[in-house]
């Protein structure tokens, strides 16, 4: 994807050949800042402070975090410590554990002196695979938009999305946004309703930013506006991402996703979830078994933004001492999901359909 006309991924190998450069997403959309990760500790901090976020990008950053650990110390102890520290950085995204397992399985059997080179090679491959997976999700989801466009005789297809399951949540393309970018690039008129996504406003700050950079028409709405728009027939299709989907198709995603799925169900609006294979947790069927991250209450009691003077500041919106709770994710039961858009095709949100698409995993 392009920022001010220049193509970027969301993270890349530094010019020194071992450090990792990331886009600091806590500064967007106000400042475009590149941050260097030089240690596994830097990678853990970047994930937990959400300088990088979004399930696929968290996974790729963790893979490079293991490489940074191996750059420093290739011992078994270093491998185990890096695995543990990165795994605890955020609890919900399945891609984190998937990427760490991939790395450990690859590195553990190697001679100690061979691990650093192998770690960078595997992390680089995971990043490239993520780009290809997202590209395929886009290609598989595109016909959904094309079909609606054909029915609408040239009027824009209105897609509602929640949080940021875009380019910034992956290495490139995004998951939920990939079909949208492909439709736009093909000249299909598409317009995106962007949920602001309190408390951290990933929709308002990140999704709107990247859609704007790519020239995709969009409108930011409050989180509570989706139901109203769906009742008025102003949403043709919902596409969201997911941090973890169970083997039976229950979908865990950013808090508020469930309410959108309920509104979509009540109004007959198709509700699709775009996801890469590594987001599926084959060990559980029931969404209630997914650990739901609870974050600092300050994210609810405070809002950050740019002042008229140009400074990025945080202001309190609650009375001092008001109790707050900050659940970061919720679960949408499979019965509310019209379909899952994967790199292998679109399927029902069911155990049978997922097993048919990923026979090697379900076995």
Helices and strands (H, E) in the chain, number of each type: 13, 18
CB of 134 to ligand MRU, least distance (A): 8
Q: Which of 195, 223, 243, 250 is catalytic?
A: 243
CB of 95 to ligand MRU, least distance (A): 8
Residue 258 β-bridge partners = none
Nearer to ligand MRU, 214 or 254 (CB): 254
Query: Active site includes 348?
Result: no
Nearer to ligand MRU, 213 or 326 (CB): 326
CB of 88 to ligand MRU, least distance (A): 15
244 φ, ψ to 5°?
Answer: -160, 130
- 250 touches 330 (CB < 8 A): no
CB of 239 to ligand MRU, least distance (A): 10
Residue nearest to ligand MRU (CB): 241
Question: How far, in Å, CA of 55 to CA of 60, rounded?
Answer: 9
Please name the residue that has the structure tokens 């093909």: 186
218-221 and 251-254 beta bridge pairing = unpaired
Backbone dihedral region for residue 73 (phi beyond 0: left; psi -120 to 50: alpha; all else: beta): beta
| Binding interface with ligand MRU (CB under 6 A) | 53-56, 93, 163, 165, 169-170, 175, 202, 241-243, 253-254, 328
Question: How far, in Å, CA of 278 to CA of 162, rounded?
Answer: 20
Nearer to ligand MRU, 118 or 275 (CB): 275
Interaxial angle between packed helices 76-87 and 55-72, expressed in degrees from 0 to 180 and rounded to the nearest 10: 150
Nearer to ligand MRU, 102 or 243 (CB): 243
Q: Which of the residues are catalytic?
A: 243
């Amino acid at each position: 994807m392009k920022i001010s006309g220049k193509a970027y991924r969301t993270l890349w190998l530094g010019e020194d050949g071992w450090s990792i450069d990331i886009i600091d997403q806590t500064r967007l959309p106000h400042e475009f800042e590149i941050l260097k990760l030089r240690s596994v500790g830097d990678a853990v901090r970047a994930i937990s402070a959400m300088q990088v976020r979004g399930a696929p990008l968290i996974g790729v950053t963790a893979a490079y975090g293991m490489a940074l650990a191996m750059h420093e110390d290739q011992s078994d102890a270093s491998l185990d410590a890096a695995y543990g520290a990165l795994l605890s950085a955020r609890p919900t995204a399945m891609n984190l554990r998937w990427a760490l397992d991939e790395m450990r399985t690859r590195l553990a059997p190697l001679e100690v002196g061979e691990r650093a080179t192998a770690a960078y090679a595997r992390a680089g491959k995971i990043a490239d695979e993520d780009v290809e997976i997202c590209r395929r999700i886009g290609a598989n989801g595109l016909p959904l938009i094309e079909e609606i466009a054909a029915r609408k005789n040239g009027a824009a297809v209105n897609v509602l999305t929640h949080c940021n399951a875009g380019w910034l949540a992956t290495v490139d393309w995004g998951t939920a946004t990939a079909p949208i970018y492909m439709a736009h690039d093909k000249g299909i008129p598409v317009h995106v309703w962007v949920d602001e996504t309190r408390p951290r406003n990933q929709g308002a700050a990140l999704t709107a930013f990247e859609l704007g950079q790519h020239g995709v028409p969009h409108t930011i709405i409050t989180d509570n506006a989706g139901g109203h728009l769906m009742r008025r027939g102003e949403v043709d299709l919902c596409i969201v991402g997911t941090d973890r989907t169970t083997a039976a198709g229950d979908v865990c995603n950013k808090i508020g996703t469930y309410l959108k799925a309920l509104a979509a169900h009540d109004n007959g609006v198709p509700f699709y979830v775009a996801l890469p294979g590594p987001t599926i947790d084959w060990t559980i069927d029931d969404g209630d078994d997914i650990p739901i991250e609870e974050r600092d209450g300050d994210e609810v009691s405070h809002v950050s933004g740019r002042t008229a003077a140009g400074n990025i500041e945080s202001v309190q919106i609650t009375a001092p001492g008001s109790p707050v709770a900050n659940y970061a994710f919720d679960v949408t039961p499979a019965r509310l999901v019209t379909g899952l858009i994967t790199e292998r095709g679109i399927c029902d949100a069911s155990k049978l359909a997922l097993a048919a698409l990923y026979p090697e995993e379900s076995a």
